[in-house]
Amino acid sequence: MVIARDTQPLTADDAAIRAALEDAFLPALLPALAQATGDLSLLREELRPPGMAPAVAQGGMTPQQQEQAKALALDALRRLRDRPAHGDGRPDEENVRRIAAWMTGSDAAQDYMPLLLEELAPFGEDPRAPAWRYDGKTPFLTAIVGAGMSGILAAIRLKQAGVPFVVIEKNEDVGGTWFENTYPGARVDVSNAFYSYSFAQKIDWPKFFSPQAVLLDYFRTCADEYGVRGSIRFRTEVLSITFDEARCSWRLRLRTPDGGEETLDAQAVISAVGQLNRPNMPKIAGMNTFEGPSFHSARWDHETDLADKRVAVIGTGASAVQFVPEIAPRVAQLDVFQRTPAWFVPVPHYHDDVPAGLRWLFEHVPHYMHWYRFWLFWTTTEGLLPSATVDEGWTDFSRAVGVANDQLRMLLTAWLQAQYADRPDLFEKALPQYPPASKRVVLDNGAWAEAMKRDNVHLITEPIDEITPRGVRTKDGTEHAADVLIYGTGFQASHFLTPMRVTGRGGVDLNAQWGGDARAYLGITVPNFPSFFMMYGPNTNIVVNGSIIYFSECEVQYIVGCLRLLLEDGHRALDCKPDVHDAYNARIDAGNLKMAWGVSSVNTWYKSESGRVAQNWPFNLIEYWQQTREPNPDDYVFL
């Protein structure tokens, strides 16, 4: 795969353009054409999309509005074809400001202008690339742990800055979660226009939400095209990381591909292992007694043939919602054991191909993909976050946390009622009894309900008592026979960095310092652990508003800025000040207590064992972007 980035010359005749417009996403096409032609009269107030929820078709434009918009778009595309625009492609700031205000219907978008201007940079430019290069005068090595999405990104940015690095990866290839999770139906739940690097945006994604194989191919291609694969040590695992105070550097103990051990010294370490990399196995009596094949969905056993087998699935989280509809048609019997039902957000095109006309427009209209990406950014930032926010004075958190959240609950309940109109017994089991966004919501195109209503599928809500040699016994004494047992029970999200042991200044063990409750300044740095950086660290998970790739790009920009402080000013290491760290986390904790996931009592991987929300970011996306633009030297002690 080659990453297709640049738009192609527009030479199609009117008939071909008309045909493509039938597949267009108009709320982003008109802005793209307004920028490309400089004709802002395309952005008529009567055509402004009224809805900013991401699942609303065409932003809520009426059929009449859509037809008028397509007529305007056809005329603009003709002009682009017949009188190609000249210039360097850089956006005019005032035009972008007016376009963004039309698209969002809000002056609040003006706060996003610096970010938006970065996003709209011409293809081939990368405004977020490091603006400096290390002179190499003093020996310096950065060890990156993990070659998933974040590790590849860190490697690319360090290479651009000329900072020597090595990547340690336990698997035999790049990709991280997209290499390891190969279960049937595995796919991303963020649109690929947003779930991709800003500097390597594809304009030819085959689907709106790519399956695992396509995403793995994308990250492999990025590692190759940006020349970082040669710096990755595959099949090598980090066992421990220890700070050497005398040398002011880190020593990594590694397990090598042949099973031996060696050490590696580095002046800085970037942990890119993420939060969702270690499967969580439930604590159920008798698990080791089951006589048939059993495995976690994140370690799918493709050697086990499920055809005509009796299969038991424990868990109904995001992974199970993806693989259960895939295996249901080919198994003899499927028993699905549910502890807590999920809220489903309707996304009818979740499994759909990107229509040919829309792909053609992405490939021929300058900046169309950028404006489409901004639409997704805005709708999932300003659009959904208020629906998860606790209203002041609201005290009953059993069903909702505020007016907007209650409205969302009613909308999602209506979606479930429509799905189970013919099966009220299943609707009763499927309806959550907690506020939406308290735990992970799941994208849905109807596949889950369709699977649950199959004759060979049984949704079981009776609590599990034990695993037996022949199946699963529930508390009511019923033994549910099974030939294969699959655990769809998520990951050890609150156990950051495990099983590595990280030891900092004064022999302090990081997990001991955390006491089971991980915290970090900006999710990146921790006092007593100099020049040790995390990506997708504590409180950088996003629930209803965005893409983790966006956060990773913010994090790596900050980390590269920290390395610049060291290398240009002659310091050996930097250590986060405890008061800065503590004040930041107090604000994070207060913010999370104003969100559905902070006040609800429902079980969720968002919380650590103490009950604190250790995973989630409670604010909007622009705030994290602003905080990570560059490090403040006053936040650190330099060694």
Burial class (CB in 10 A: 0-12, 13-18, 19+), 87: exposed
pLDDT in tens, 125-142: 788 999 999 998 889 999
**Domain range annotation of the chain:** 14-125+356-383, 142-278+493-638, 287-349+395-487
CATH superfamily of 287-349+395-487: FAD/NAD(P)-binding domain (3.50.50.60)
Cα angle 275-281-282, degrees, rounded to a multiple of 5:
120
Per-residue model confidence (pLDDT) at position 51: 66
pTM: 0.94
Residues 512-544 as b/e (b if ≥16 CB within 10 A, e otherwise) read ebbeebbbbbbbbbbbbbbbbbbbbbbbbbbbb
Q: Which of 124-128, 274-278, 344-348, 467-471 has the lowest mean pLDDT?
A: 274-278
Please give the mean pLDDT across all residues of the chain.
92
HSE-up (13 A, CA, CB side) for residue 403: 2
- In this structure, CATH architecture of domain 142-278+493-638: 3-Layer(bba) Sandwich (3.50)
Same fold, 142-278+493-638 and 287-349+395-487: yes
Q: Which two tokens stand for residue 307?
A: 């055809």
Per-residue model confidence (pLDDT) at position 50: 81
Residue keyed to tokens 């909702």 = 400
Per-residue model confidence (pLDDT) at position 482: 98
Q: Where are the alpha helices (DSSP H) in 45-181?
A: 63-82, 93-104, 113-119, 149-161, 177-180
Going by C-beta distance under 8 Å and a sequence separation of 6 or more, which residues neighbour residue 202? 3, 4, 5, 192, 196, 218
pLDDT in tens, 410-450: 999 999 999 999 999 999 999 999 999 999 999 999 999 99
Per-residue model confidence (pLDDT) at position 278: 79
Asked whether the bond before 499 is cis by omega within 30 degrees of 0, the reply is yes
Q: Which two tokens stand for residue 602?
A: 């429902």
pLDDT in tens, 230-243: 999 999 999 999 99
Q: Which two tokens stand for residue 61?
A: 């434009």
Answer yes or no: is pLDDT of 119 > 90: no
Answer yes or no: is pLDDT of 516 > 90: no
**What are the C-alpha distances in Å from 128 to residues 533, 550, 558?**
19, 12, 11
Per-residue model confidence (pLDDT) at position 3: 63
Answer yes or no: is pLDDT of 191 > 70: yes
Per-residue model confidence (pLDDT) at position 109: 67
pLDDT in tens, 472-503: 999 999 999 999 999 999 877 566 787 889 99
The residue with greater pLDDT, 5 or 475, is 475
Q: Which two tokens stand for residue 188?
A: 């991303």
Per-residue model confidence (pLDDT) at position 597: 96
Q: What DSSP state is assigned to residue 395?
A: -
- Other C-beta atoms lying within 10 Å of the C-beta of residue 282: 14
HSE-up (13 A, CA, CB side) for residue 143: 26
Answer yes or no: is pLDDT of 386 > 90: no
Per-residue model confidence (pLDDT) at position 529: 98
C-alpha closest to that of 357 among 64, 1, 27, 26: 26
The residue with greater pLDDT, 121 or 214, is 214
pLDDT over 90 percentage in the chain: 76
Question: Which amino acid, 31?
Answer: P
